């Protein structure tokens, strides 16, 4: 597993990948950090494209990511995580919306649990999932960071007139 650590507007972030793709995006503080072992090797070159795309996102120059992804989880979790990429930049879905989009409208709690274990936050935008009443709820990087990411996207989303 290759990893790199670099400064971002929210602090030092870590990305990790293996030959199949990006496995982890880690905030300065994480609720569920992966276990690092001796197989993790620092290699900024292996993560150059991922780092550049993430930094372009923070600069307001990128709204989507084009990277090989390799999140590890149950089939249900991976289904939830990959569906996150369908939430438009600058928009939000409720947990119920996400459950409906994966074809499991009654699985709202399970969707919430899977969302909270997303190993690729920002890249797979779990911060765009909010409570049914519009409230900011659980986020692996903490609610202040979720608020920051949503406000960041709001500043860089063009207004459309009907």
Q: What is the CATH number of the domain that holds 44?
A: 3.30.160
- 36 occurs within a structural domain: yes
Query: 82 and 49, same structural domain?
Result: no
Q: How many of the other CB atoms lie within 10 Å of CB of 129? A: 26
- 68 occurs within a structural domain: no
Alpha-carbon distance of 154 to 107, in angstroms, equals: 29
Query: 144 and 83, same structural domain?
Result: yes
What's the pLDDT at 134? 87
Alpha-carbon distance of 23 to 151, in angstroms, equals: 26
**17: containing domain:** 2-58
- 69 occurs within a structural domain: no
What's the pLDDT at 104? 94
Domain total in the chain: 2
- 101 occurs within a structural domain: yes
**DSSP conformational letter for 15:** E
Q: Which of 15, 25, 126, 130 is catalytic?
A: 126
Q: What is the CATH number of the domain that holds 94?
A: 1.10.10.10
- 128 occurs within a structural domain: yes
Distances (CA, A) of 113 to 11, 73, 107, 120: 25, 12, 10, 15
- 162 occurs within a structural domain: no
Query: 128 and 81, same structural domain?
Result: yes
Q: Active site includes 15?
A: no
Query: 151 and 80, same structural domain?
Result: yes
What's the pLDDT at 6? 95
Contact (Cβ atoms closer than 8 angstroms) between residue 89 and residue 42: no
Q: Return the sign of the alpha-carbon dihedral for residues 97, 100, 106, 112.
A: negative
Query: 8 and 39, same structural domain?
Result: yes
What's the pLDDT at 157? 63
Splitting the chain (162 residues) into consecutive groups of 10 residues, what average pLDDT does each group show? 94 95 91 81 95 96 96 96 95 94 95 94 95 85 90 73 46
């Amino acid at each position: 597993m290759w990893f790199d650590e670099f400064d971002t507007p929210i602090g030092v972030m870590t990305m990790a990948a293996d030959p199949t793709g990006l496995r982890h995006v880690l905030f300065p503080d994480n609720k569920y950090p992966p276990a690092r072992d001796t197989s993790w090797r620092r290699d900024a070159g292996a993560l150059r494209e991922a780092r550049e795309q993430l930094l372009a996102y923070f600069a307001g120059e990128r709204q989507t990511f084009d990277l090989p992804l390799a999140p590890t989880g149950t089939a249900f979790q991976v289904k939830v995580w990959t569906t996150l990429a369908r939430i438009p930049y600058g928009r939000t879905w409720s947990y119920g919306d996400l459950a409906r989009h994966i074809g499991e409208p009654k699985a709202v709690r399970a969707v919430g649990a899977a969302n909270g274990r997303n190993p690729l936050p920002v890249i797979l935008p779990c911060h765009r999932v909010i409570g049914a009443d519009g409230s900011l709820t659980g986020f692996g990087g903490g609610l202040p960071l979720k608020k920051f990411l949503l406000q960041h996207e709001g500043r860089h989303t063009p207004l459309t007139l009907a």
